[in-house]
């Protein structure tokens, strides 16, 4: 079973992207164990903090380093990547020479009420992650339009077609985590 660190780019308790992350965890099946990381105490990136790194930063670096892969579940704020998401990338890439990102199998998903989901934020995040050297899953892309009731209170996906699509995505991500997967 592959251990996947899940980065949810919203700290809001009722975040629709947090709901999506929980729904994906429920759909993951036996090949993947999705572990949502706690980002609530992660400070904004500040290079000066490496002199005495906060425990939350060290914990994040350990969790990202130990994971077989990383799944970003990102909202889109003002047509861009949320600060929470970018902050995780920045902490993971430092200090110089100690980045957790090179070669790390990674995928991006996201949901919003809008028709294009989180396409713009995901595009920006793809560029940032490429510069960090991750091994990014190109297909399938998940730009999910969140509609009321799509994800039930128990985090089940109520629409059969959407559930099948998300299961297909998770299958492709699991294959992406296998040694020797296409690079």
DSSP bridge pairs for 151: 157
Burial (CB count <10 Å: 0-12, 13-18, 19+), residue 131: exposed
Look up residue 37 and give its two tokens. 């990381």
- Digit-by-digit pLDDT tens for the chain (183 residues) are 999 999 999 999 999 999 999 999 999 989 999 999 999 999 999 999 999 999 999 999 999 999 999 999 999 999 999 999 999 999 999 999 999 999 999 999 999 988 888 999 999 999 999 999 999 999 888 999 999 999 999 999 999 999 999 999 999 999 999 987 665
* DSSP state at residue 41: T
* DSSP state at residue 77: B
Instruction: Domain ranges for the chain, please list them.
Output: 2-177
| pTM value surpassing 0.85 | yes
> For the chain, what's the residue count?
183
**What element of type H or E holds 4?**
strand 2-8
Q: Under CATH, what is the fold of the domain 2-177?
A: Rossmann fold (3.40.50)
């Amino acid at each position: 079973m592959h251990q996947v660190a899940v980065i949810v780019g919203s700290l809001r308790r009722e975040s629709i992207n947090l709901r999506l992350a929980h729904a994906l965890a429920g759909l993951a099946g036996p090949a993947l164990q999705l572990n949502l990381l706690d980002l609530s105490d992660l400070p904004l990136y500040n290079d000066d903090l490496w002199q005495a790194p906060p425990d939350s930063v060290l914990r994040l670096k350990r969790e990202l380093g130990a994971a077989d892969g990383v799944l970003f579940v990102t909202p889109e704020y003002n047509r861009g990547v949320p600060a929470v998401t970018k902050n995780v990338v920045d902490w993971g890439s430092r200090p110089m020479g100690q980045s957790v990102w090179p070669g790390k199998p990674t995928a991006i998903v996201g949901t919003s009420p809008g028709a294009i989901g989180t396409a713009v934020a995901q595009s920006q995040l793809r560029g940032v992650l490429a510069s960090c050297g991750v091994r990014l899953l190109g297909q399938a892309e998940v730009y999910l339009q969140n509609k009321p009731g799509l994800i039930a209170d128990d985090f089940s996906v109520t629409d059969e077609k959407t559930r099948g699509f998300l299961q297909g995505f998770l299958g492709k991500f699991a294959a992406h985590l296998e040694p020797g997967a296409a690079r």
